[in-house]
Structure 1
Amino acid sequence: MVAATEAKPRRRRRSLAGTPHAAVEEEMKSRSFSLPPSLIARLRSAQWHTQLEADGHSNLSALARAAIDREVTRLEKRYNAGRPFPVIEVLPTGPSPQGAQRGARIRAHRRRNQKDGAEKAGDAT
């Protein structure tokens, strides 16, 4: 007697040919990005529950690549006439100008609070 085995669904391989800016055999590079845990959970769940669908993704990296590519393409269309932005070889270190201003405001606020706290402590003696 031969045991019946349940056939596993087959995964489809995806071609990058339809992707506007991706080379077919482009080497992958690992990068680290900070994401909120709730978004990571949604990403994992969406990939897992749709991986065998026609427009699903075989792994988290494939889903992240597709989502990032869609957003970058949208930004290129909106702000650069649909062309890729000029390549930035080295990103500047440190905060953006907006981040530097925000940090200065936070530090000034902390200094004021510390000064006010010290004055109040001096009045109590």
Structure 2
Amino acid sequence: MTRPAPRKSSLAGASPVAPPPEAVPAKAAPSPVVAQTATQPAAATTPAKKTERKTKYPPKVSFYQDPEDTARVRGAILHTMTTEGPRNLSQFINQAVMAEVERLEAKYNGGQPFPSVGARELPQGRPMGE
């Protein structure tokens, strides 16, 4: 009996560092890097538009909070859900956060939306002095 020839992997010859040849655009000109200054906005000045959702649920956002405060939030939701509207933690937090965003836009930006900022564009890590 002869053994069948081993199958060749689709990854054979591919480099883990270099992009595949079809991913490299033909004649890609290097784009100039422009340093941001205090007068240059970090993002476009057009209002942020909600993107079309392709999934059933919106993207998850997480934050840190003391367990005692989290328990208070849950208690407030449970005891007011029939009269106030938010029926779950996500709805409650989204309404509270968007109310604060609208307040800040009214106070500091003439009621217009601030330029949008992408994920990982905010300062990260522990703030100095904490």
Please report the TM-score for the alignment, with normalisation by the length of structure 1: 0.52
> For the residues of structure 1 that align with 2:58 and 2:94, how far apart are their CA atoms?
10
Aligned partner of 1:68 in structure 2 is 97
Could you tell me how far apart the structure 2 residues matched to 1:56 and 1:79 are? Answer: 29
Structure 2-normalised TM-score?
0.50
* Stretch of structure 1 that moved more, 74-83 or 85-94: 85-94
User: What is the percent sequence identity of the aligned residues?
Assistant: 33
Q: Give the corresponding residue for 1:91.
A: 121
Distance in 2 of aligned mates of 1:79 and 1:93: 20
2: CA distance, partners of 1:69 / 1:76: 10
1:30 counterpart = 2:60 = yes
Cα distance 1:40–1:22, how it changes in 2: closer, same or farther (>3 A)? Answer: farther
Hey, which bits of structure 1, 4+ residues long, moved more than 6 A? none
- Map 1:1-125 onto structure 2 (within 5 A): 28-53=58-83, 55-89=84-118, 90-95=120-125, 99-100=127-128, 102=129
Q: Deviations over 1:105-125 (max 9, x none)?
A: xxxxxxxxxxxxxxxxxxxxx
Q: Comparing both structures, which one devotes a greater share of its residues to helix?
A: 1
Over residues 82-118 of structure 1, what are the superposed CA-to-partner deviations in whole Å (9 max), with x where a residue is unaligned? 111101124145448xx34x37xxxxxxxxxxxxxxx
Q: Which amino acid letter does the alignment assign opposite residue 47 of structure 1?
A: I
AA at the equivalent of 1:82: G
Structure 2: distance between partners of 1:57 and 1:40: 16
Q: How many residues align?
A: 78
Do the aligned partners of residues 93 and 45 (structure 1) sit closer, same or farther apart at CA in structure 2, a change above 3 Å counting? Answer: same
Structure 2 unaligned runs (5+)? 1-47
CA positional deviation for 1:56: 2.7
